[in-house]
Amino acid sequence: MNLLINPNFTQHIPCGGGGQVFEGWTQEPECLWMHSGKPNQCENSAAKMGQDSHANGTVTGWMVGDTGILYQGVDALDPHTQVTLSTVEIHHMYSGVVELTLYGWDGVVWVEIFFRPAPDFPINTPANRTTWYPRSYVISSEHTRYKVEFYGQLSEPNDGWKFSCVDVSVS
Question: pLDDT tens digit string along 85-143?
Answer: 999 999 999 899 999 999 999 999 999 999 999 999 999 988 888 999 999 999 999 99
pLDDT for 161: 96
Quote the pLDDT of residue 122: 94
Q: Report pLDDT for 54.
A: 80
Local confidence band at 4 (pLDDT 50, 70, 90 cut-offs):
very high
pLDDT digits (tens, 9 = 90+) for 33-92: 999 998 999 999 999 999 988 878 888 899 999 999 999 999 998 999 999 999 999 999
Amino acid letter at 82?
Q
Instruction: Report the top-level CATH class of 12-170.
Output: mainly beta
Extended beta strands in the chain, E state? 12-16, 19-22, 26-28, 34-36, 46-49, 51-53, 59-61, 67-75, 82-91, 97-105, 110-116, 133-140, 145-153, 161-170
Note every long-range contact of 72-75, with CB atoms under 8 Å and residues 24 or more positions apart, other chains counting.
72/4, 72/5, 72/24, 72/25, 72/26, 72/147, 72/148, 73/105, 73/145, 73/146, 73/147, 74/3, 74/4, 74/5, 74/145, 74/146, 74/147, 74/148, 74/168, 75/3, 75/144, 75/145
